[in-house]
Structure 1
Amino acid sequence: MFHRMLRAVATLLFVTGLMGAGLAHAGADQAREFVRNLGDEAIALLSNDKLDASERIAGLETLLKRDFDLPRIGRFVLARYWRQASEEQQEEFSRLFESYVLSVYAARLGEYSGETFEITGATELNEKETSVNTVIKRGQRPPLRVDWRVREDGSKPLIVDVAVEGVSMALTHRSEFGSVIQNSPQGVDALLDRLRKQSVKVD
């Protein structure tokens, strides 16, 4: 499930045709525009035949680091184990988590096959967060429902979660990471070892 969720989100970054009806609230409008701009930039990156593969990967990593709140997501998925971890473990986890996510997304760069992406609505969840609702149209395959959780907490909005067909990426990571820690006498170190190995596999 961990790998499937990452592959699904990777595909979402590469789709085109961001469209949507007008929304009632400024927060929802801003979140929708944020998701729209991310999609437009991803498509421009993919369609630029002047860039080689390494340049496209570098551009993709720039988008992910800029528009996803990877430190916040990482702390969330580690849950209570974040507070239990040493400062050194926290630093290594943050680095490995970001590296692994970026590596998986970059490895899927060539899998874009012309899917289209439609914004269908947005819901303000609280004063800081909005869920932008979208549908991925995939030719002959059934459409895929995807919700982007956008948090405005400071100078710019950032994505803090993506739910594919109602399944949260952040909650999936949290469950799987917690299981690794709970089922090993090495605790957090066991998870760090797993992330080291998986990062190597996807490089």
Structure 2
Amino acid sequence: MPSDFLTRRNFLATGLAFAGLAAVPGKLLALTESGARNLVGSVVNDINKVIGSGKSESAMIRDFENIFVRYADVNIMARYALGVDARRASKAQLKAFSGAFQGYIARKYGKRFREFIGGSVEVKSARKIKAGYEIKSLAKLKGKAPFEVTFLVSDKSGRDKFYNMFIEGVNLLLTERTEIGAILDRNKGDINKLTAELKRLS
């Protein structure tokens, strides 16, 4: 896979991580096109403020985690990342995993942000879909050709959230689930060991 694509994937996976990855079963609430567009803009603006703040890397990562908590349905995202194994996890295990996963995402992708200072993501169009809205955007990074990013937005969790993102056809929600699954396999299916490893990983 080309290195440029991996760089793009890392950048946009950050947006995914901080915005929220999974929808929740339930009736669609009053999400509007304007609301979906505004959510995309809010996430991008908050991230841009952090990368332009001049703070240390560790301080920026803390800020990224706060953004993640603000915009993501962390518990639902963590359950999706665990896949079918979430069904056998206790409430205490799910809570611990969610906390570890939250920090893991902030560290993993937050460290990439310095590479994207001066970049931008511009919302281009919105389209109603069954689960909410599809927001198509154009990402522009310094020294890179612009590329399309598609955000899927829903309010099935009770608040407007991103629940998936596609970069040039790549489903990042499934990608993150695969990576977490590999870590779980490496720990022979032990959710407690998975949680402990996530706390150490960046």
Equivalence for 1:84? 88
Equivalence for 1:115? 119
Equivalence for 2:177? 174
Alignment of 1:7-22 (within 5 A): 7-10=11-14
Once the two structures are superposed, residues 7-63 of structure 1 have per-residue CA deviations (whole angstroms, 9 ceiling, x without a partner) of 4333789xxxxxxxxxxxx722210111112222332343345x5655544433222
RMSD of the alignment, in Å?
A: 3.2
8 Å Cα contact 1:11/1:112 also seen in 2: no
Matched, 1:30 2:15: no
Once the two structures are superposed, residues 107-126 of structure 1 have per-residue CA deviations (whole angstroms, 9 ceiling, x without a partner) of 22322232222212122222
Equivalence for 1:136? 139
TM-score, scaled to structure 2: 0.73
Alignment of 1:68-79 (within 5 A): 68-79=72-83
Alpha-carbon offset, residue 157 of structure 1: 0.9
TM-score, scaled to structure 1: 0.73
Equivalence for 1:106? 110
Which blocks of at least 5 consecutive residues in structure 2 are unaligned? Answer: 18-30
Alpha-carbon offset, residue 189 of structure 1: 4.3
Alpha-carbon offset, residue 183 of structure 1: 6.5
8 Å Cα contact 1:131/1:150 also seen in 2: yes
Equivalence for 2:152? 149
User: 2 CA distance for matches of 1:184 and 1:53?
Assistant: 30
Q: How many equivalent residue pairs?
A: 185
Task: Assess, with a 3 A threshold, how the Cα gap between structure 1 residues 48 and 109 changes in structure 2: closer, same or farther.
Answer: same
Matched to 2:89, the amino acid is A
8 Å Cα contact 2:16/2:172 also seen in 1: no
Which blocks of at least 5 consecutive residues in structure 1 are unaligned? Answer: 14-25
8 Å Cα contact 2:51/2:117 also seen in 1: no
Q: Secondary structure at the match of 1:156?
A: coil
Greater Cα shift, 112-121 or 186-195: 186-195
Task: Assess, with a 3 A threshold, how the Cα gap between structure 1 residues 106 and 141 changes in structure 2: closer, same or farther.
Answer: closer
User: 1 CA distance for matches of 2:57 and 2:188?
Assistant: 41
Bigger radius of gyration among the two: 1
User: 2 CA distance for matches of 1:34 and 1:8?
Assistant: 16
8 Å Cα contact 1:12/1:136 also seen in 2: no
Q: Secondary structure at the match of 1:141?
A: coil
User: 1 CA distance for matches of 2:47 and 2:169?
Assistant: 24
Aligned with residue 44 of structure 1, among 37, 46, 49: 49
Task: Assess, with a 3 A threshold, how the Cα gap between structure 1 residues 178 and 55 changes in structure 2: closer, same or farther.
Answer: closer
